[in-house]
Amino acid sequence: MKKIVLLFTLCTFSISWVFAQNIKKLDEKNGFKELTLGSSYQDAKQYLSELPIESNAKGKTAIYAVTDQSFLEVGESEINKITASFFNDRLESINIDTKGHQNFKDLLDVLTKGYGKGEKKNTYIEEYHWLGKKVNMSYKMNANTKDGKLTIVSKEIAEQNEKHKKDLKKGVVNEL
């Protein structure tokens, strides 16, 4: 009986290990393809539009379109659009949009193979999270359109951005 219980425990542990997240790999990659979180616009500009599609000087933010066509395919999925968001001239996040349910599923399959099964907080919502020490990643499907949005974020730079936003709000009071 003890052998059966031990065998069952080992099998359960092995199965959970196969489906576990590989957060270490997510943190090591620290980005998407050749875009590395924390890099400057200057280091990434060969993959990006020359001018930002959105910018805020006071907020120290700029968003650029990824123009390099090699970024638009991952496995079987086709990527619709990719943007790179910078804070204080450092790449804070990469946002990847897919169109349609099949592309959502195909990209989710690649993410699962690369980083393990994402944490799904609500069984009724197609949203997955991978939370690393340096990088957070989330992938969510729009229930109406079936389009997907993958966001890969540098935790360090996001924290700096949040602090900057709070400091700006404090400064507004002084302008009264």
Residue 162 tokens, joined: 């949040």
Q: SS3 of 160, please?
A: helix
User: Residue 12: what pLDDT?
Assistant: 40
Q: From 26, 18, 52, 48, select the one nearest 135 (Cα to Cα).
A: 26
User: Residue 170: what pLDDT?
Assistant: 80
Can you tell me the distance from the alpha carbon of 18 to that of 160, in angstroms, rounded to the nearest whole number?
Answer: 35
Can you tell me the distance from the alpha carbon of 164 to that of 39, in angstroms, rounded to the nearest whole number?
Answer: 19
Q: What is the pTM of this model?
A: 0.84
Can you tell me the distance from the alpha carbon of 85 to that of 45, in angstroms, rounded to the nearest whole number?
Answer: 12
| CATH number listed for the domain at residues 19-174 | 3.40.1000
pLDDT single digits (tens) 73-94: 898 899 999 999 999 999 999 9
Mean pLDDT confidence for 105-134: 95
